[in-house]
Amino acid sequence: MSAIVLVDAENVRRSVWPNLSGEELVERVERWAEREGVRATVIFEGRGQTADDRIVAEAARLHEQGEEVWVATSDRELRGRLEPYANRTIGGGSLARLLTRT
């Protein structure tokens, strides 16, 4: 079973200059996930719910299902909220740099 990586879209795409477009971020994350053998979901702001709330809810759901959950964000508050659910946290800038190398 491979890890599921939840990507904080705005945090990651704005971590490099020039900023990645949302579309470019999704494309690069898909290629990276395939190379790394993980599954990834890029989470943007939604109607009536912040990306942070969506990420926490999804991480909790996946954790309850026994999935290995990784999250890509540099948001300290979000990282704190994810402590019970995330097996690994990747900095937004670290992931963005990995994505822009390819």
CATH number at residue 55: 3.40.50
pLDDT-based confidence at 46, cuts 50/70/90?
confident
Query: What domain count does the chain have?
Result: 1
Residue with tokens 């999804």: 58
> What is the C-alpha separation between 50 and 32, in angstroms, rounded?
25
Range of the domain at 27: 4-100
pLDDT exceeds cutoff 90 at 4: yes
pLDDT interval class at 102 (50, 70, 90): low
d(CA 71, CA 84): 12
pTM as predicted: 0.94
